Amino acid sequence: MPACLQRFLGAVLAACLCHSAAAQPASPSLLSQPLSREQFASCVQNLAQQTQLSGRPLHRADFERIAAAAQYDDRVRQSMLVTTGEPTFWWDELAATTDEERVQQGRAVLARDGQTLQRIEAQFGVPKEIIVAIYGIETNYGPSQGRIPVLDAAMSLACLRPCPASASAAGSCMSRERAFAAVRVLRDRRVPAENWQGSWAAAFGRTQFVPDSFEQLAVDFDGDGVSDIINSEPDAWATTANHLKTRGGWILGAPVYIEVAVPAAQQAEFNTGGESKRYPERAKPLSQWAAQGWTALGPDGQPVPLQVPGDPEVHPFFPVGLPGPAFLVTRNFETILRYNRSVRYVMEVALLATKISGGRDFATPWPTDDPGLTRAQVRQLQAWLASRGHAQVTADGVIGRLTRDAIEKEFVARGLPPQRRVGQRTLQLLMQP
């Protein structure tokens, strides 16, 4: 399950414009129905007239020649709609993305290729567990790189999310620049001309880079003279490490997050009303938080001294407000955030890396009586739904719209209050004989 494809299929994070989210909003009217053949052709023609705005040199003739093969792919629009769809919960997403299956597979990657990963860690200064965790979350350690032709995805995205008229400078419109970059990468023969596939957001390869980031950051680490992030694990890993090093930098020896207890007297100050909130403007050295009575949490949730070598600057982060897990986060958090602009993604990567290293889950429970399912449990649920006649549900371990529809119908069929999600508790309730 690729992170991107997963979200395309239905789970929701507004995350998967991997490694440089297109910032400009889509026009709602453009998303209400598929683009017509004429609309798409006219959009591509319009882009051809703007190649002078390409972030790197691009001749109009090259654009026209390569873009002539592009086809509108409505999966892009459907995915854009999904990202504004149903609410999702931290405890569901983290339970699936950091489940035991993914932890064990991550350890197997480290055991298999520890030496290569160690060399990458040494050269780029990024922990190998973080690189492996990104690999695991982005493409499930390789197999799930996406099935949408990258050129089609990039062009469709640019046409569904056109630049505002004011975006006249190169680089001021990410969706346009991504389309140009896809063409440049093909022109330069840096990717396969046939079957170049990726996510709906045009991210491709083992760690899911968009074409513009690929152009800027791709590394040849296996030494064959080609930066091949699709087939070569060392190239993909080193390219990811290069991204983290170049766009943010890593403080080696410092964690991404430290789970903390907030002193009672200061809890009102951080009342987020249940919202996810981060306070980067309040960054200060860890020792100063400790002096104010903040403590870290030990394995059983007991307070332990707040200490990290080098006394890095940290700031508070509350994924779901208080009560709920509370964190002080370092610059490493912001470095992962530049890789994928979702705070939930950052915590998925960091927690998976922690677990791969033998560390533990968060000590503070999420504010729910119905914690999330592992992918093995989701597959079990889906097989059961299919056996109950919901033929559209496949046991792929990814909760998407079709699975949610079936869940809702089953709750209704059993005379239970309808809901579209299932956790550990409601799984038992729903599947009882």
The footprint of Ca ion (CB under 5 A) covers 220, 222, 224, 226, 228, 232, 235
> Closest approach of Cβ 206 to Ca ion, in Å?
12
Nearer to Ca ion among residue 155 and residue 236 (C-beta):
236
- Closest C-alpha to 146, from 220, 89, 196: 196
3-state helix, strand, coil in the chain (%, to 5): 50, 5, 45
- H helices of 247-285, in order, are 264-267
Lookup: tokens for 184: 């440049």
Instruction: Return the number of the residue (221 or 317) whose C-beta is nearest Ca ion.
Output: 221
CA 362, distance to chain mean position in Å, is: 20
- What is the C-alpha separation between 382 and 406, in angstroms, rounded? 9
Helix (H) or strand (E) holding 326: strand 326-329
Q: Which is nearer to Ca ion, 237 or 366 (CB)?
A: 237
Q: How far is the CB of 234 from Ca ion (least distance, A)?
A: 7
Q: SS3 for 287?
A: helix
> Taking the complex as a whole, how short is the minimal distance between the CB of residue 239 and Ca ion, in angstroms?
10
Q: Judged by CB, which is closer to Ca ion: 220, or 313?
A: 220
Of all helices (H) and strands (E), which one includes residue 259? strand 257-261
- Minimum CB–partner distance for residue 205 and Ca ion (Å): 12
Determine the length of the chain: 433
Nearer residue to Ca ion within complex by CB, 64 or 220: 220
Q: CB of residue 154 vs Ca ion: minimum separation in angstroms?
A: 23
Nearer to Ca ion, 67 or 120 (CB): 120
Residue 226: CB minimum distance to Ca ion, A: 5
DSSP symbols for 88-145: --HHHHHHHHT-HHHHHHHHHHHHHHHHHHHHHHHHH---HHHHHHHHHHHHTTTT--
Is the Cβ of residue 92 or residue 235 nearer to Ca ion in the bound state?
Answer: 235
Task: Give the shortest CB-218-to-Ca ion separation in angstroms.
Answer: 9
Position with the least CB separation from Ca ion: 220
Question: What one-letter code names the amino acid at 255?
Answer: P
Which residues, in sequence order, are CB contacts of 42 under 8 Å at separation 6+? none
